[in-house]
Structure formats: C-alpha cells, structure tokens
Amino acid sequence: MDLNDIIAQLPYGEPFLFVDELVHVDEEGIIGNYTFNENLDFYKGHFCGNPITPGVILTEVMAQIGLACFGIYLLGSDLNNGIAMALTSSEIQFLKPVYPKEKVTVFSDKIYFRFGKLKCAVTLKNEAGYEVCKGTLSGMMKREL
C-alpha cells in the first residue's frame, strides 16, 4: 500500500486533517509529520499574543498518524471499503509547547492490534528532536462493508 493511499483513506479533511506526510510504516509502527500553519483558527484565541498549540490538537495529530493511518495500513489495502474508527482512550504527558509554523513528527509503536482494537505507544517530537508529548492511545477500527 502506497503511503499516500493511506492518507487518502482518512475520514478527515481541511481544516481538521493533521497529516502532511507519512515517512515509514510497517507491521510494528508508523512515522509521520505535520507542520502547524500559523493561520489555524485556534491560534487566534489560545494564549492571545503568544499562541501555543492546544494539547487536544497535539493529541489529535498523534491519533490521526499513530492510530488512524496505522490502523488503515494494518487493516489492508482494500480501497473499495471505508473504515469506521473511534478513539477509545488516551493517556498523554505534555512536556514542551508547540508554536505556529513548527513541524512535528509522530512515532507510533504497536503494543497490540486484536479484535479491531489498536493500542500504541506514541511520541511527538519537534524539529530539534525533543519530545513534546508522549503516552498511549487506543482505538477501535474496522472496514465497513
């Protein structure tokens, strides 16, 4: 499966698509990145005069790359059927702020994938290689018939 095919199957669109590129994927994990556009609406009111990316958005970036894209890959290459997916749990530690124009990279490693439930250890790093946040995410997913 081509990495761009994975992104094309995501059930998200602008302005809520937080995946620019997938760098690597295999049966054990996925790596992808996203750059925060300085004109995103949430920057207008999240710490006026000193915009910082909200933690919920950082979690969403990790979920879109580390769970949704990874789950699409693990479910296989049947492009004719959509995917139903839902985040079921998250436990994230926030370590550093992310500012507008920053590029972040998600590293997601499979803990398990069984009976449609995917659980991963995820780490988000900034361009300098520092951990921005890390934790675990779980979600349910299946191919729709």
Task: Tell me whether residue 49 is exposed, middle or buried, using C-beta atoms within 10 angstroms of its C-beta: 0 to 12, 13 to 18, 19 or more.
Answer: exposed
Q: Which positions of the chain have pLDDT values less than 70?
A: 1, 77-81, 145
pLDDT of the residue at 2: 85
- Token pair recorded at residue 36: 């925060």
Give 78-110 pLDDT, tens digit per residue. 555 677 899 999 999 999 999 999 999 999 999
Can 24 be counted among the known catalytic residues?
no
Q: What is the chain's mean pLDDT, rounded?
A: 93
For residue 142, the model assigns a pLDDT of 84
* Radius of gyration from C-alpha coordinates of the chain: 15
Fold assignment, 3-143: Thiol Ester Dehydrase; Chain A (3.10.129)
Of 21, 29, 35, 46, catalytic: 46
Q: What residue segments make up the domains of the chain, in order of their start?
A: 3-143
pTM: predicted TM-score of the whole model, two decimal places: 0.94
Decide: residue 123, CB within 10 A, 0-12 exposed, 13-18 middle, 19+ buried.
middle
3-state secondary structure 56-124: HHHHHHHHHHHHHHHHHHHHCCCCCCCEEEEEEEEEEEECCCCCCCCEEEEEEEEEEEECCEEEEEEEE
